[in-house]
Structure 1
Amino acid sequence: MTSTEPHYGDFLRLQALLSLQRELPDVHDAHFFFTVHQAYELQFKIILYELDAAVVAVRGDDIPRAVYCLRRVRAMEDALVAQVGTLETISPGSFAVLRRTLGGSSGLQSVQFREIEFLSGQKDPGYLDRLRMSEAERIRLERRLTEPSLWDEFQRLLRRLGDPDLVELYRAEIPDNGLARLAEAMVDHDEGFGLWRVRHVAMVERVIGRRPGTGGSAGVAYLQSTVERRFFPELWAVRTLL
């Protein structure tokens, strides 16, 4: 007798999910390249989900929940960093063939990646003009540009708490203040995303050298210019003042 209970594949919608990968008969690495980037977008989706939840938690003064969500964000970013190494299994020669099939597409066009930046507080309206995107993606990015970021909500939380001196909170040898733990969880996120940027630069240079990137980007030169970006520079600066 056949069971009508949903099974593992039903819950995960595997039939649909596993039908989305592209293959090019003459380019062996195409299947791998496209699948890894799809996996990145799924991981970006998780990060956005947790960042959204953290923003709501901070807005509601629920610091433990915000820290809980941000711990997962950092764990996902560690996974992103580790995954970069898999792309280095593509030889420079193989990618030279593969990139001819990409047209004007580029990872720099990832709208979810820009959403993470905007939601964290690093908002650049110029991306609305520079990115190739669908109308639905544009609407999402415009919404992220106007809605409060994690940094905005953190600053509002500080005001609600009477603008405590973060430097004094950080002087504790073992911080047990909830606000300090939240600040450190935000720095963890900032650091994790920054480590991905650094690791990504090295991978791209290893695969394409100093050639221009796909989609007309400047390639490694552009990526290197983003390495020093910080979501929360004020939280990094606190350490200098101790």
Structure 2
Amino acid sequence: MAEAENPAQGAQMEFRGRMSYGDYLHLEKVLDAQEPLSTAHDELLFIIQHQTSELWMKLAIHEIRSAISAIRGDDLRPAFKMLTRVARIFEQLNNAWDVLRTMTPSEYTQFRGALGQSSGFQSYQYRAIEFLAGNRNLAMLKPHAHRPEILSALEDILASPSLYDEAIRLLARNGFDVGAEAERTDWRGARPENEQVLAAWRDIYREPGRYWALYELAEKLVDFEDYFRRWRFNHVTTVERIIGLKRGTGGTSGVSYLRKMLEVELFPELWKVRTEL
């Protein structure tokens, strides 16, 4: 009887002195990073949910920064790819809520007390994404004041144009009147909505064939915010499903705080232009 063929035949099986899969990914660091503070079965789910979310956010930050740089250099095709990836990252983050929602209120109660004052709204990577996109609420620097290196990194983001700022500057370079936005040099604070910017996007949407690259950029930005909004909405419903209307561990009002966040628009003129077409 012939010897069965080894399906792994030809594969490298000896890794002494060579880099393996686990070596490349530093899996010992990743897989040793889960340290539950209770004996509750579901705490591991809770930790992994949030750690993997932070990893996806790290990638989102990388892609948004690169998209900002590409738009600044009038190199739009790579920016489109990067923004598509960011939207897909938030789709992935959305799907993760389905896993967390398998945890019931009773199960969460078993370890909630071990979380202390830690809360998702304290995520500095989430804050970086908001700041990079254009939602620059300076009050949200305060939760990071105890970490000078993090505060400095967030301040560096605030010192430069956001993703949406760069899109508006691109409009100006293409001959559109964007009003005071064309002269802005202070990027740190929130920008007011601008009628000239709204009018520019309206012209682009009325003649997409004429302004195809700008039209496509607008849609990529809307895609990003669409998935970002869905992620926020799923966050609200997941929290309400698990803790109801109780206050959050970080001291926020919980669900009511998260519902207010649903009203925040990253790219307001791009949403308002739809009403005017």
TM bracket, shorter-chain basis: over 0.9
Q: Name the CA distance, whole Å, in 2 between partners of 1:91 and 1:218.
A: 20
- Between stretches 93-102 and 22-31, larger displacement belongs to 22-31
Unaligned 5+ runs, structure 2:
1-12, 178-199
Paired amino acid for 1:142: E
**Cα 1:97–1:37 shift into 2, 3 Å:** same
TM-score normalised according to structure 1 size: 0.94
CA deviations on 1:157-200 (whole Å, 9 max, x unpaired) are: 11111117432321257787011101110111111111101111
Structure 2 match to 1:157: 170
**Offset of residue 25 of structure 1:** 5.1
Q: CA RMSD in A?
A: 1.8
**Cα 1:156–1:133 shift into 2, 3 Å:** same
**Offset of residue 5 of structure 1:** 3.0
| Paired residue secondary structure (1:126) | helix
Report % sequence identity. Answer: 40
Q: Superposition pairs for residues 57-72 of structure 1, below 5 Å?
A: 57-72=70-85
CA deviations on 1:107-133 (whole Å, 9 max, x unpaired) are: 110010011000000001111224565
Match 1:214 to one of 249, 260, 270: 249
Structure 2 match to 1:20: 33
Match 2:215 to one of 167, 180, 194: 180
Q: Name the CA distance, whole Å, in 2 between partners of 1:55 and 1:25.
A: 42
Asked if structure 2 preserves the Cα contact closer than 8 Å seen for 1:125 and 1:145, the reply is no
Paired amino acid for 1:214: T
Structure 2 match to 1:196: 231
Structure 2 match to 1:103: 116
Q: Name the CA distance, whole Å, in 1 between partners of 2:165 and 2:204.
A: 20
**Offset of residue 94 of structure 1:** 1.5
TM-score normalised according to structure 2 size: 0.83
**Cα 1:7–1:176 shift into 2, 3 Å:** farther
Q: Superposition pairs for residues 1-242 of structure 1, below 5 Å?
A: 2-3=14-15, 4-24=17-37, 26-131=39-144, 133-163=146-176, 165-172=200-207, 177-242=212-277
Higher helix share: 1
CA deviations on 1:1-49 (whole Å, 9 max, x unpaired) are: 9443312111111111111111345211111111110000001001000
**Cα 1:25–1:111 shift into 2, 3 Å:** closer
Unaligned 5+ runs, structure 1:
none
**Cα 1:24–1:184 shift into 2, 3 Å:** same
| Paired residue secondary structure (2:94) | helix
- Between stretches 24-33 and 229-238, larger displacement belongs to 24-33
Paired amino acid for 2:257: Y
**Cα 1:155–1:177 shift into 2, 3 Å:** same
Asked if structure 2 preserves the Cα contact closer than 8 Å seen for 1:58 and 1:153, the reply is yes
